Amino acid sequence: MARHVRHKNKRAQTTFQVPAPPPGYKGAHRAEAEKVLPRRIASVAVAVGIVSGSGAAAYAMSGPFSPMAGGADLGGVPDDTIRTGKVDTVHAVDLGSETARIIRQEQLSALHTFNQASGVAQDGYAARKAAEDKAAREAWEAAEARKPPKQREVEGWIREAIKVLAANGTPITEDSLDEIYTIIIKESNGNPNAVNTWDANAARGTPSKGLMQCIDPTFQTYKLPGYDDIYSPVDNIIAGVRYTYARYGGFGNHPGLVGINSGTGYVGY
């Protein structure tokens, strides 16, 4: 393997003299000054895959250089490769201790630069995300504070019931909160102890009761184990929602909500 010879020129600069190529070889050789050589070596290192991954990407961003030119300058890339931009084989590149040290230094420097840039970007994103979350939370809290205390209380019951329902197989989320709240206000005006004494159900001896105005047979059919009190806000909501899903397939076909959306007004379910 050919070796690079280091000399001092008349200006006291260190140069690396590359030996003449073998007969018939058409690559170019050139002696480089010490201040130029590291970038040329780094270019060769990228060309042959010594600097790779994030290190190569960072070094590429740190300033203009050409892997092809670097390879050619050290006699490592044939002339036709420079024209085509394709590297198949690299010859006559001697990675001695001095060269390896320079390449390693370039690698570490490039990787450090890349990691710094990545860290700044990540920190910036985290800060923006935190600010956006804080703004959204404050807006939600402000909106909640403007609601009447009774509405906040009823919505609290609804949220608790939704959690229980979701945990027990009902495909529901807090997106349904407004729909449930509307039904409750229309049915009982938010009074968990409300009892209807005048409609057909009452005439049959099964008056509607609670927030969602369930009759006893319906409540017993659609309640969940452990949620057995028809006058308990959460228990009553659970039964009323499960009945709605069983009979109407969800709130999209709830007759009261359909009536509101169509402009004909709320009707009982």
* pLDDT per residue as tens digits for the range 134-166: 899 989 889 888 999 999 999 999 999 999 999
Closest CA to 69 of 51, 47, 92, 52: 47
- 70 vs 170, higher pLDDT: 170
Q: What average pLDDT does this structure show over 52-56?
A: 45
Q: What percent of the chain has pLDDT over 90?
A: 46
> Domain-by-domain residue ranges, the chain?
5-117, 149-262
Q: Which residues pair with 195 in a beta bridge?
A: 209
pLDDT at position 67: 44
Tell me the pTM. 0.54
Q: What is the b/e burial string over 59-68, where b = at least 16 CB atoms within 10 angstroms of the residue's CB?
A: beeeeeebbb
Q: What average pLDDT does this structure show over 56-79?
A: 45
Q: How many residues in total does the chain contain?
A: 269
Q: Which residues contact 182 (CB under 8 A, 6 or more apart)?
A: 256, 257, 260
Residue 30 CB burial class (10 angstroms; 0-12, 13-18, ≥19): middle
How distant, in Å, are the alpha carbons of 14, 16, 31, 102 from that of 35?
9, 11, 12, 11
**pLDDT tops 90 at residue 81:** no
Rounded CA Rg of the chain: 39
> Whole-angstrom distance between the N-terminal and C-terminal Cα of the chain?
91
pLDDT, one tens digit per residue, over 206-243 is 999 999 999 999 999 999 999 999 999 999 999 999 99
pLDDT at position 213: 98
Cα(109)–Cα(180) distance, rounded to whole angstroms? Answer: 61
**pLDDT tops 60 at residue 26:** no
- 105 vs 163, higher pLDDT: 163
Element (H, E) at 140: helix 97-146
pLDDT at position 182: 97
